[in-house]
Structure 1
Amino acid sequence: MASTFKIRKTVESDVADLQAVEISASQAFRAIDGLASFADGSCATKDQHCPTIAAQTSWLAETKDGKPVGFLAALPEDGALHIYEISVHFDHQKQGIGQALLAHAEEQARSRGLSELTLTTFSHVPWNAPFYEKLGFDILADKDCEPRLLKLVQDERSAGLPFPEKRCAMRKKLR
């Protein structure tokens, strides 16, 4: 599928497209009991996207004709590239775009000398932890998280998300 889209660095003028992709991607949550509210239109703000764009660690997948279909936003933190968001437009899911974005992020992390990819996610949503596990990520017990990652997952658990007990941190070692 890589021949049907390309990946490039995100620029600030892409933010509205990133938001549209994120809102579309969230429609998949309608199929998960207790998570349908995620499909009701909330997405990252321009201010939330700007740090990843400035760090050049936000990438946009677009069709050959320039239509945005997915993105990954991350930041280097404590020797890791932490993935804050990966979204694929609902109409383009299950076409290898998310996997390609993760492979691109991994390549970029390696080129920067970073030792791992990290993220937080739901353990029970099929396109969350099970998807990442297939790509070499491991679910971390709280006791195995470095302080930065433990704080992120604990903050998410206490932020009022549904199924807080299902939030987990994940890591893929690169060295």
Structure 2
Amino acid sequence: MVSPASRSALCRTALILALAGGVPAFAQESADQQGAQVASNQAAGEVVLIPNRVIYPGELIDTAALKPVTLLPGKHRPDAVATQAEELQGKVAKRTLLPGRYIPVAALRDAWLVEQGAAVQVYFIAGDLTISATAVSLQPGAAGDLIKVRNTDSGKIFSGTVMADGTIRVSAS
């Protein structure tokens, strides 16, 4: 029979894990215990990166906030989690990333090139014809994103693609 206090603590723990939404990384410190692993003739596990502190939504991922860990033998990393620093370079957290948890690729996005409310240059190019205008972005966007902008002269709202240099390319529709 489970006491009411134990049941309450168990429910509270389950709720916290459900809200956190992360899967704990069954891992060990790669630098500290790798020598002990080799000495015991166990097969080396996979190395993954996990946060060593809380990373909040909208925060740029910094390699100093990550720590490499080696998964325990027999444990395999889930699909679609970040394993290399190159995958995380220049990315921004979409949601809170907790210490000791895997970093799902779906929880990351590219940094915005265009911020909402920023003045941007909009270009329409068709053959030799180039038309440029100034507009205000109505949405943030990374390279390749389709966002809405408002022409500052006419007030018209239209969509365009964010280019790598931060300008917006509009096509005929």
Give TM-score, length-normalised by structure 2: 0.22
Give TM-score, length-normalised by structure 1: 0.22
Per chain length, whose mean CA-contact separation is higher, i.e. which structure has more relative contact order (CA < 8 Å, sep 6+)?
1
- Which structure has the larger Rg? 2
